[in-house]
Structure 1
Amino acid sequence: MGEIEVPLGLAVPPHTPHAISVSLPTWRDNVGYEEGEKRVVDSMVSGYPRFFIHLSIRKLASMCEQKHAVGNEKCMLFPTKNIAEECRSFIQRRTALAGSPVNARLVHLFICPEDKHDGTKIDRSSIAGSCADLHIVLFPESAFPIAKEVWQHTGLGISSRLAEKCIALLVKDVPEVQRSTSPVSRYATKGLNRHYSAVKNSKPPSPTQPAGEDLSSDHAVYLEERYGRNLPLDAASFAKRVLRSRVAGVLINDNIREYQSNPRLSQKELVVGPSTRGITDVAADDVYLYPTGMSAIWSAHHIALAVLPPAKSVCFGFPYTDTLKILQKWGPGCHFLGFGLDSDIDELEQILEVESKRDPNTPPILALFTEFPSNPLLRSANLPRLRGLADQYDFVIVIDETIGNFVNVKVLQYADIVVSSLTKVFSGASNVMGGSLTLNPKGRHYTTLKNYLKDNFEDVYFGEDAIYMERNSRDFKRRIRVIDANAQAACEFLHSRSRAGGAPSPAIKEVFYPKYITRENYDFCRIKDVDPEDGKEGGYGGLFSLTFTSVAASKAFFDALPCYKGPSLGTNFTLACPFTILAHFGELDWAAQYGVEEGLVRISVGMEGTEALLRSFEIALKAAEAVL
């Protein structure tokens, strides 16, 4: 794989204008960031888009504040009035609960291109030449941390590509936004976890790039400005149609280049067949696209609250942090069953029995949310047993299949709604966000959910982002097969050197990977039919986590591992992070109760050569064993 050095705070992968990760190469860097250490915070120019406010969005926000703010007001930017109203309502509700109620106000900009001064006509049929809707939520500066929660938890803020388009439409030669003197308080909020804050830009050295595109800065600019922006508007519509068919598992001919090279063909319907999702009746119309995976999760909860009697939800298993926050901060609250084991289903049965006796006329809970498998412990729930309880007590099941993905597992038959972060392995390129929500047409709540979406769904997925997502995902099945094989080889090697694997004097305590963790539940949903295209069964995914016999061993392993280091997962390249430090720094003891230890290292395996990957893990393991 070769050693990869990306300076602290720069984009991962390098030279990627809309990168969704950032380099935090050492354990100390991650802790320093969480503690607000100036050395780290002042280096950040990129980050995961729901936590880090992209420089282009900062620039647009500053322009909006200069023109529309009164006094010390700050703003958040959203693509529709409904989302902006949601942000305003959240700010007012949460500040009132805190005893200091704050009002927010909305400004709507409808921005259309003007012909150039030299008389050149703008092509208004292209993405770059079309109009843009921008909804601005203005609020006192003191409420910024609350507004930032909406941005982070819902994932419904504008995308960085949309921000760049708005800037281009509004004015020319706008000066760069100057670095804030207090970037942490201005662009990040601590709460229970603080995430990325942008400040300055510099060009990184060119590191060794694993499998995938090695984009020079010129090439990256070409792709962004030519490939996406200058395509006609109907290219975005076509890309979304393809994405929905691809996610639905109904696309017969996945060679989209053939469609795009033949304009007459692309005007026709795509060639589709029975779905491969475990329920053949799934159609592209049952798939809804969102700007992020978390916005799909937030929307699933929002839909359930809208169509079913009010009740608490259940978060089953230890989830990625924002899922739990959504269930806690919107609606009546939630029951948290954080281990995700069968013993938690026993507890769930007790909750259902008690709640149903309290009010026999309404379902005892609203919905149950679970990941399959979970992040970061890779535990898989007993879905048949949960489905049986949902049928008995009439609640909705929402399954996040991001980690398992539908090349490896079939879970739709146990769900009412399946959500996924397309940002991850479906895209792989780490340069665009996206999410999907799929309805189970055989589900008992299907008609109710479908009718609600028919009347209320807003397509807020920016067309240029959809074009990149479609392009990236054309070969997702092939990439997943390579990543699955690499991850299995790496886990077998590391497990053999772990305490759980019986190794003498090991540095590694346990390898969390679906092949070793709750395997019976995972295997029950794993696709065992041989794929006619490549002759392979479903694998165990590309994500695993390691715990160590000491925090010192964790640090040594992480620092010595020669790969990209930063947040996110599902990338075409190997990406590691000290997960608990990044996601739960302010609540380490709480996370540890559920087995998410302070020293846990999460690794998303990429497409590098298997032997090179194993050598890299050998290097890191020797460093960890040396501190014992």
Structure 2
Amino acid sequence: MLAHHPLGARLPDSAHAVCASLPTMADVIGYEEKDPRVMEKLDLGYPRFIPHIYLRRLLEHLRRRRGWGERDAFLVASEGAARRLLDHARPKDAEVKTEEGFVAVHFPRDPGAADRARLFLQHTGCGISSRQAEDALIQEGKLAARQAEEIVEGDGAAQCVEMLRAASGARSAEDLFLCRSGMNAFHAVFLALQRAQAARGRDLWLQIGWLYLDTQRILEKFTAAPSSFLWIHDPLDQRAIEEAFERHGARIAGVVTETPTNPLVLTGDIPRLAELSRAHGAALILDPSTVGLANVDALPHADTLVVSLTKYASNRGDVMAGLIVVNRSSPFAEALRRDLGEFVEPLYPRDAARLAWAAREMDRISREGSVNTERLAEWIARHPSVARVHWAGAGGSRRNYEILARGKNCFGAMLSVELKRPLAEVFDRLRCVKAPSFGARFTMACPFVYLTHYERAKDEAGRRWLRERGLEPELLRVSPGVEPFDRIREAFEEALA
């Protein structure tokens, strides 16, 4: 996979790949601007952002068969998801139709409501998967057969849960909830804790560090009011964190941070954060997705973990999934176990069977990717074209990270590079999979800020706003795979030459 891949190439070469190639900065910008030249090449992409070709075909078939005409239509995993989508999108004269295994929502054409519905699906990850759409198309006689792939025999979900229980350090399978996506995991935890804390008069959510885009969007959009969301940009600013608890401790419902953060790969003082949260009655949600469950032991410090299994566990790059792990010693454990079932959208059985097959190699992929990350970080930091490298072993947060790390060489497969030359010169020349994910068997790279904060990255005022908050717009995020390190280094030597 250390090669140049054409625009729109499925990576991996599977009908269920979660990434498609965006090989140049012009392609990335074209994707963000919805340039037809780019969009017509993308029959799939990261599933919450680009509707899969099977999903589009299924929607078109249902539109004709059900006589929906030109109405806006969306497919979701459950009736609960349909209700929440409608509450958020607020369309007029909406109809909900329960199909076999999923739910269709449609309403008269309304661009505003349709945009809100699309963003709700993106933020909450409660849509249907490509495998579920594939099965529905086969049942409707619109597709001949499933794609052949290796899966486990028996109950894939149960096998996933047992592997992940051991990896997370949870005591019981009852403490794990397998979800359709990492964002569905976070959204479900957010709703369950929001309910529990509202009864205690708590409505403030504290975000620490730069987090994954849609985690931040849920905190911004689904809290009660703008005054119910507080963001401390630097997870190493312990003084600001302490002051937030001193000023707002009685209001804080939950604290959310990543261990470490994405894309700056910073780790705050998690034991102290846990101490503050518990002393003030706030729930602490930790997300170790950046480095994966095999690399950090975060559960003892958290009330609950939320994890994207699309990374590391689904290391083949063809399943989107998420996980919630409840710390049963948490004062919120009973409320979480009671209410999460209402909000979690369970993983589709075929996705679970494929995930269980891939997750058997999670430990090895995590370990080998970590070793390559450390070697690449140390090599690339010395390159004259590189200004700075962010990774779990760098700078002032390394000691904080090592408190959580499961051992040596457990740095995870992510580093972010600030360059002394234009990003496009390096990115366009780089030979690897170029798409917005990480934690795969193969090396990946992306211009992270352009894909997550494009509206700010495209003009100087927005770029200044990002830099003031510690995020360099021209950042190259890299996720080293398990290829021989010499081959990875050669690809970067060429790009930086």
Q: What TM-score, normalized to structure 2?
A: 0.92
Deviations 1:31-54 (A, max 9, x none): 222223332222222210000000
Alpha-carbon distance in 1 for matches of 2:391, 2:223: 33
Deviations 1:483-502 (A, max 9, x none): 111111111101122xxxxx
Match of 1:338 among 233, 246, 250: 233
Specify the alignment match of 1:426 in structure 2: 313
Match of 1:576 among 445, 448, 462: 445
Alpha-carbon distance in 2 for matches of 1:315, 1:328: 10
Alpha-carbon distance in 2 for matches of 1:150, 1:491: 36
How many residue pairs are counted as aligned between the two chains?
483
CA contact (8 A) 1:407 1:538 kept: no
Alpha-carbon distance in 2 for matches of 1:61, 1:591: 38
1:84 aligns with 2:82: yes
CA contact (8 A) 2:386 2:419 kept: yes
CA contact (8 A) 2:392 2:398 kept: yes
| Structure-2 change in CA distance of 1:134 and 1:374 (3 Å) | same
Q: What TM-score, normalized to structure 1?
A: 0.73
| Structure-2 change in CA distance of 1:169 and 1:562 (3 Å) | same
Alpha-carbon distance in 1 for matches of 2:186, 2:343: 14
Specify the alignment match of 2:470 in structure 1: 595
Specify the alignment match of 2:413 in structure 1: 542
1:17 aligns with 2:6: no
Specify the alignment match of 1:507 in structure 2: 385
Alpha-carbon distance in 2 for matches of 1:595, 1:308: 31
Alpha-carbon shift at residue 28 of structure 1 (Å): 1.7
Aligned residue type for 1:291: R
Specify the alignment match of 2:183 in structure 1: 294
Specify the alignment match of 2:109 in structure 1: 140
| Structure-2 change in CA distance of 1:453 and 1:39 (3 Å) | closer
Alpha-carbon distance in 2 for matches of 1:443, 1:602: 35
Alpha-carbon distance in 2 for matches of 1:304, 1:563: 40
Alpha-carbon distance in 2 for matches of 1:141, 1:596: 36
Alpha-carbon shift at residue 457 of structure 1 (Å): 5.6
Matches within 5 A, 1:106-505: 106-111=95-100, 132-142=101-111, 143-172=113-142, 221-223=147-149, 235=154, 238-249=155-166, 277=168, 282-309=171-198, 310-332=202-224, 333-341=228-236, 343=237, 345-356=238-249, 363-453=250-340, 456=342, 458=344, 460-497=346-383
Helix, strand or coil for the counterpart of 1:556? Answer: helix
Match of 1:525 among 384, 404, 422: 404
| Structure-2 change in CA distance of 1:153 and 1:489 (3 Å) | same
Alpha-carbon distance in 2 for matches of 1:173, 1:490: 44
Helix, strand or coil for the counterpart of 1:464? Answer: helix
Specify the alignment match of 1:61 in structure 2: 59
Helix, strand or coil for the counterpart of 1:5? Answer: coil
- Could you tell me which runs of 5 or more consecutive residues in structure 1 were left unpaired when the two chains were aligned: 93-101, 112-131, 175-217, 250-275, 357-362, 498-505, 529-536, 623-628
Specify the alignment match of 1:117 in structure 2: none
Specify the alignment match of 1:626 in structure 2: none
CA contact (8 A) 2:126 2:345 kept: no
Aligned residue type for 1:616: A
Alpha-carbon shift at residue 437 of structure 1 (Å): 0.1
Specify the alignment match of 2:94 in structure 1: 105
Alpha-carbon shift at residue 478 of structure 1 (Å): 1.3
Alpha-carbon shift at residue 458 of structure 1 (Å): 4.9
Alpha-carbon distance in 1 for matches of 2:122, 2:213: 11
Specify the alignment match of 1:625 in structure 2: none
Alpha-carbon distance in 2 for matches of 1:322, 1:457: 17
Match of 2:483 among 587, 605, 608: 608
Helix, strand or coil for the counterpart of 1:288? Answer: strand
Alpha-carbon shift at residue 246 of structure 1 (Å): 1.2
Alpha-carbon distance in 2 for matches of 1:423, 1:403: 11
Aligned residue type for 1:494: I
Match of 1:559 among 413, 428, 437: 428
Alpha-carbon shift at residue 406 of structure 1 (Å): 2.2
Alpha-carbon shift at residue 21 of structure 1 (Å): 0.6
Q: Once the two structures are aligned, what percentage of the paired residues are identical? A: 28
Alpha-carbon distance in 1 for matches of 2:17, 2:241: 40
Helix, strand or coil for the counterpart of 1:63? Answer: helix
Alpha-carbon shift at residue 22 of structure 1 (Å): 1.0
CA contact (8 A) 2:304 2:324 kept: yes
Alpha-carbon shift at residue 172 of structure 1 (Å): 4.3
Helix, strand or coil for the counterpart of 2:252? Answer: coil
Alpha-carbon shift at residue 471 of structure 1 (Å): 0.4
CA contact (8 A) 1:21 1:568 kept: yes
Deviations 1:522-562 (A, max 9, x none): 0111123xxxxxxxx45111110000124x2x221211211
Aligned residue type for 1:583: T
Alpha-carbon shift at residue 104 of structure 1 (Å): 5.2
Deviations 1:155-192 (A, max 9, x none): 11011111111122234479xxxxxxxxxxxxxxxxxx
CA contact (8 A) 2:254 2:284 kept: yes
CA contact (8 A) 1:12 1:21 kept: yes
Alpha-carbon distance in 2 for matches of 1:584, 1:457: 28
Helix, strand or coil for the counterpart of 1:19? Answer: coil
Aligned residue type for 2:347: Y
Alpha-carbon distance in 1 for matches of 2:387, 2:262: 18
| Structure-2 change in CA distance of 1:617 and 1:172 (3 Å) | closer
Alpha-carbon shift at residue 440 of structure 1 (Å): 0.5
Helix, strand or coil for the counterpart of 1:308? Answer: helix
Deviations 1:358-394 (A, max 9, x none): xxxxx32110110111111001121011111111110
1:72 aligns with 2:42: no
Q: Compute the RMSD of aligned alpha carbons.
A: 2.1
Alpha-carbon distance in 2 for matches of 1:7, 1:133: 34
- Could you tell me which runs of 5 or more consecutive residues in structure 2 were left unpaired when the two chains were aligned: none
CA contact (8 A) 2:18 2:317 kept: yes
Aligned residue type for 1:541: G
In terms of mean alpha carbon deviation, does 588-597 or 79-88 score higher? 588-597
Alpha-carbon distance in 1 for matches of 2:180, 2:193: 19
Aligned residue type for 2:241: L
CA contact (8 A) 2:436 2:446 kept: yes
Specify the alignment match of 1:115 in structure 2: none
Aligned residue type for 2:486: E
